[in-house]
Amino acid sequence: MANFLSFDSREAMVAAITADTRARLEAALGERGEARWAVSGGSTPAPLFAAMADADLGWQNVKVALVDERWVEADHARSNTAFLRRTLLTGKAADAAFTPMKVPGDDPFAAASQVDAAYKALDPFDLVLLGMGPDGHTASLFPAAEGLEAAMQPDGAATVRAIRANRSEVTGDEVLRLTLTLGALTRAGAVQLMITGDDKKAVYDAATDPSSNLPIGRVARALGDRLSVYWAA
Ligand code: 6PG
């Protein structure tokens, strides 16, 4: 079972996840002289990234990666790379080494092995930050997507796989994606899921019922107590 951490306010949730993130990155820096951190896009992590961007940390030894990316160029409005450059990779955190997922080419399925090789060098991650959508997706592990089962092998050796999601309000036009695999999530030192609002709590609760096949539930069941859920209304 995941640790479900419930907070009275979003400010309290952000303070707690910021403190946990700092502690885990500092521990990795202390132990190995390097920290590997994979982070989500989406709107929810923005205040965490604002706090981390100015944190005093040995950023030059922190390797930052994405949990997923849309197959769009880095200047696209919905690029997670662009989002990270605006929010996290500014201030002190600009010294971190960032490995994008988007590489040249039209087809993420053709490019996946190249990105997988680059991300293999970072696997296992010390810490992974996930988000969750109202459809029960996490990273780009979308329900019933092409590529989902290949990415969902719990002990799969791949770190990154390509996904073609079914078009929905959540995906918008950007159905082609790359995502961290469940194998990479299970190898990580710790995984956090940051969600807000009663609607998302209801989706999470329903997904973690053993009868549910939603990706976030499958991920939560596979990770057990190595997953910490940060939630505030
Ligand atoms: C992304 C994320 C995605 C996101 C959820 C939640 O690239 O958009 O990786 O999985 O975390 O859709 O998004 P919000 O935080 O905006 O609700």
**How far away, in angstroms, is 140 Cα from ligand 1 center?**
9
pLDDT at 230: 98
Ligand 1: atom nearest CA of 83 is 7
Q: Which residues of 87-119 are buried (b: 16+ CB within 10 A; e: fewer)?
A: bbbeeebeebebbbbbeeeeebbebbeebbeeb
Q: How many CB atoms lie within 10 A of CB 186?
A: 18
**21 and 129 in contact (C-beta within 8 Å)?**
yes
As a whole number, mean pLDDT of residues 131-146 equals 98
**96 and 84 in contact (C-beta within 8 Å)?**
no
| Burial class, 78, CB count within 10 angstroms (exposed 0-12 / middle 13-18 / buried 19+) | middle
| The pair of three-digit structure tokens given for residue 19, joined into one six-digit string | 């403190």
pLDDT tens figures, 53-111: 999 999 999 999 999 999 999 999 999 999 999 999 999 999 999 999 999 999 999 99
Closest Cα to atom 11 of ligand 1: 131
* SS3 at position 176: strand
Percent of the chain with pLDDT over 70: 100
| H helix count then E strand count, the chain | 8, 10
pLDDT at 199: 98
Is 0.95 surpassed by the pTM of this model? yes
| The pair of three-digit structure tokens given for residue 27, joined into one six-digit string | 């521990």
Partners of 191 in beta bridges: 128, 227
| The pair of three-digit structure tokens given for residue 64, joined into one six-digit string | 């930052």
pLDDT tens figures, 190-232: 999 999 999 999 999 999 999 999 999 999 999 999 999 999 9
| Residue 191, H or E segment | strand 191-196
Ligand 1: atom nearest CA of 130 is 11
Percent of the chain with pLDDT over 90: 98
User: Binning pLDDT at 50, 70 and 90, where does residue 43 land?
Assistant: very high
User: Among residues 54, 199, 36, 61, which one has the least CA distance to residue 128?
Assistant: 36
**Distance (Å, rounded) from C-alpha 77 to C-alpha 182?**
27
Mean pLDDT of the chain: 97
- pLDDT of 154 over the 90 cut: no
Sheet with 127-130, edge to edge strand ranges: 3-7, 227-232, 191-196, 127-130, 35-39, 62-66, 97-99
pLDDT at 155: 86
| Ligand 1 pocket by Cβ (under 6 Å) | 40-44, 67-68, 80, 131-133, 137-139
- pLDDT of 173 over the 90 cut: yes
pLDDT tens figures, 196-207: 999 999 999 999
